[in-house]
Amino acid sequence: VPSTSATTLLTPIVFSVGAEDWIEFGPAEARRRVGFHDYAAIYAVPGLYEAVFQDALEMRSHIEVVRLYGETLSSLGRPAGDERVFDLGAGNGAGGQELRALGVGGVVGLDLEPAARAAAQRDRPGVYDDFLVGDLGGFLAEELAALRARAFTTVLALAAIGVGHIPPAVLDRALGLLEPGGLFGFAVTPALLPGSEDAAGLASGYPAFFAELFGDRAEELARHAYVHRLQTDGTPHHAVALVGRLG
């Protein structure tokens, strides 16, 4: 994890006003601006993701979902060391780090961005047994079979699903890597849950996907509502952590 001396070179951090468009950072003589969701640019700067999202905006999903997952493992009597976790949308490894602290036996990450893997290897070496780059939605049958052969016991998506991030079809593909009894967990904005009347939420397809998932194929084991992070205007971005088990 980047050192404090590295992260102090990133301040002051300033956000675009009115919408989450950009992030400006660095000392007066070397100010830089990156897109708010330009993960490639953000991961390329050591400590920037942590300084912006974890420190300034208090992002918590990697902590909350892994904590709920850990509690679920305990209540099921499943030793963490026996779990092989697929970390979907792994970013620069914040969730993988939490999973190792929990004591899980194996962690494989996947992210769309090559910069995510580079940053995870740079900042959290050894956390991932393997880190794949690509779009699971576009994996060929033999690539999916190779992933399946890794015999994951759990799929987690930490701060990575929803509008502008991982769509339902890709989460579904990841769940398809699991055998019956496999666990999954994710953080989701309430607008994506069944019963939502939010137009963007409904358009994402997630409310219908979750209704079908929890209606027919899986049981919900644990749920926890919390604040995912502050928005740049200081208001809370609410989220729900869910852990379930495939039937």
Ligand X SMILES: C[S@@+](CC[C@H](N)C(=O)[O-])C[C@H]1O[C@@H](n2cnc3c(N)ncnc32)[C@H](O)[C@@H]1O
Window 22 to 61, contacts with ligand X (CB under 6 A): 39, 61
User: Nearest residue by C-beta to ligand X?
Assistant: 91
Site string for ligand X, 112-131 (x = CB under 6 A): xx--x---------------
- Please report whether residue 91 would count as binding ligand X according to CB under 6 A: yes
CB-nearer residue toward ligand X: 166 or 213: 166
Amino acid at 153: T
Segment contacting ligand X (CB under 6 A): 12-20, 28-36, 89-97, 230-238?
Answer: 89-97
Does position 98 interact with ligand X (CB under 6 A)? The reply is no
Distance in angstroms (rounded) separating the CA atoms of residues 90 and 102: 16
- Interaction between residue 100 and ligand X (CB under 6 A): no
Residue 33 near residue 65 (C-beta atoms within 8 A): no
* φ, ψ of residue 36 in degrees (nearest 5): -60, -35
By CB under 6 A, which span of 72-80, 87-95, 199-207, 227-235 interacts with ligand X?
87-95
Cα→Cα distances 142→135, 147, 150, Å: 14, 9, 13
Footprint of ligand X on 124-183 (CB under 6 A): 135-136, 158-160, 165-166, 170
- Those residues with Cβ within 8 angstroms of residue 181's Cβ, 6 or more apart along the chain or in another chain: 245, 246
Which tokens belong to 163? 């509008």
How many C-beta atoms surround the C-beta of residue 182 within 10 A? 19
Site of interaction with ligand X (CB under 6 A): 39, 61-62, 89-91, 94-95, 110-113, 116, 135-136, 158-160, 165-166, 170
